[in-house]
Amino acid sequence: MLRKVRIVGSGLIGTSIGLGLVQQGIAVEMVDSDSFAQALAEDLTGGVVVADPELVVFALPTSALSQVIKSEIAINPQSTFMDVGSVKSEVVLQIETFPGLSTRFLPTHPMAGREIGGAGSARADLFQGRSWILTPEANCAPESKNLVLDLISSLGATPIELSARDHDAAVAKISHLPQIAASLVAKQLTGTPAEWMELAGQGLRDTTRIAGSDEKLWKEIIYSNRSEISELLISLQNDLTQMIAALDDPAKIAELIAAGREGKAMIPGKHGGKAREYSYLPIVIDDKPGQLGAIFNECAAMEVNVEDLNIEHSPGQQSALITLSLSALDAEKLSAHLTSIGWNVHPVRK
């Protein structure tokens, strides 16, 4: 049973872990090299000092890890260690420089985060329902692993075991590649006349949303996973070269766009598991308080479950277009009901 945890690093992830554990009645000590961050994290979590923690969590940049491991081994010679960095092979290499450490050091990666960093953005529920990847080495001690599994389930996350190498290849593809692509596409916008930018639609907004990310965090991640990322960027570059060569050949352009659609179909639905097909129900509403509430009350009355919602405001107009994502059955039911009571519903005809 997990009772005492020391968390080294009081940023978003470390402090969120602290908050979540404290809620479960676990004693948590927050530490940071930045005294301001440590003070804030202590305020938020209760600020106790724990002796002989069972588990020490490293929630800090991988580049700072080696130094911190050294000092923590000295003061906590019996503790289990874990880190929460976004890249794992490099952590494994660092662990291997400390003889015997791999039996009690678990590299992990919680698949959660926010666009805003720092202890001030921390949330006890940050990991609720998220995946938390472990990449233990073969000689990892079972009792160490159980402590880490205990922490993960205390925070409401689901543990998934992968090899460090598979983890790094997976996140390179599903996280690091999209980040770099979004940043480089957004970079092309620099210097564009404002009146052109006014024409931007949802496509550009979605494609570049994560380009707003913090470069201090991302330089670490990308650098640490450079060998996996390099392969992917070269493959992207080859496809880009093909597209440039294909610009005079509509059939070849179509082939590349179609290949993209096939790749996109690999992404599962929001609930995890198999990709789910939603039906979309567009409704034009007056852009005033009360309209959304009224619609959701009708959803509740009809026992319809809204999977997602998009709101599109028409600039300079008093109307908004909301689009509900529903199961096909719910969409049909709700569409008929809302139409019958006078809502401006625009079901997509089959």
Q: How far is the CB of 85 from a copy of itself (least distance, A)?
A: 15
Q: Under rule CB under 8 A, which residues in 64-93 are in contact with a copy of itself?
A: none
Count of residues engaged in binding a copy of itself, rule: CB under 8 A: 136
Which of 67, 178, 328, 336: binder of a copy of itself (CB under 8 A)? 178
CB distance 220 to 63 below 8 Å: yes
293 binds a copy of itself (CB under 8 A): yes
Q: How far is the CB of 3 from a copy of itself (least distance, A)?
A: 26
317 binds a copy of itself (CB under 8 A): yes
25 binds a copy of itself (CB under 8 A): no
Name the DSSP class of 101: G
329 binds a copy of itself (CB under 8 A): no
Polymer length in residues for the chain: 350
181 binds a copy of itself (CB under 8 A): yes
**CA geometry: angle at 48 spanning 111 and 128, to 5°?**
20
Which tokens sit at 54? 């069972």
Q: How far is the CB of 72 from a copy of itself (least distance, A)?
A: 24
Q: Under rule CB under 8 A, which residues in 212-271 are in contact with a copy of itself?
A: 212-213, 215-216, 218-220, 222-223, 226, 229-230, 232-237, 239-241, 243-244, 247-251, 253-268, 270-271
Q: By three-state DSSP, how is residue 24 classified?
A: coil
**In angstroms, what CA-CA distances link 246 with 144, 239, 249, 254?**
54, 10, 5, 9
- State the Cα torsion 226-232-235-241 to the nearest 10°: -70
Which helix (H) or strand (E) element contains residue 312?
Answer: strand 308-313
Q: How far is the CB of 46 from a copy of itself (least distance, A)?
A: 16
d(CA 345, CA 299): 13
CB distance 20 to 124 below 8 Å: yes
- State the Cα torsion 80-160-22-17 to the nearest 10°: 90
Stretch of residues binding a copy of itself (CB under 8 A), selected from 3-11, 21-29, 96-104, 341-349 = 341-349
Which of 210, 327, 332, 333: binder of a copy of itself (CB under 8 A)? 210
Q: Under rule CB under 8 A, which residues in 95-124 are in contact with a copy of itself?
A: 111, 116, 120-121, 123
Which of 308, 328, 329, 336: binder of a copy of itself (CB under 8 A)? 308
CB distance 129 to 202 below 8 Å: no
Q: Under rule CB under 8 A, which residues in 125-144 are in contact with a copy of itself?
A: 125, 128-131, 133
Q: How far is the CB of 143 from a copy of itself (least distance, A)?
A: 27
156 binds a copy of itself (CB under 8 A): yes
Q: How far is the CB of 21 from a copy of itself (least distance, A)?
A: 17
Please name every residue paired with 110 in a beta bridge, in sequence order, or none if there are none: 132
Name the DSSP class of 174: I
Q: How far is the CB of 349 from a copy of itself (least distance, A)?
A: 4
CB distance 347 to 292 below 8 Å: no
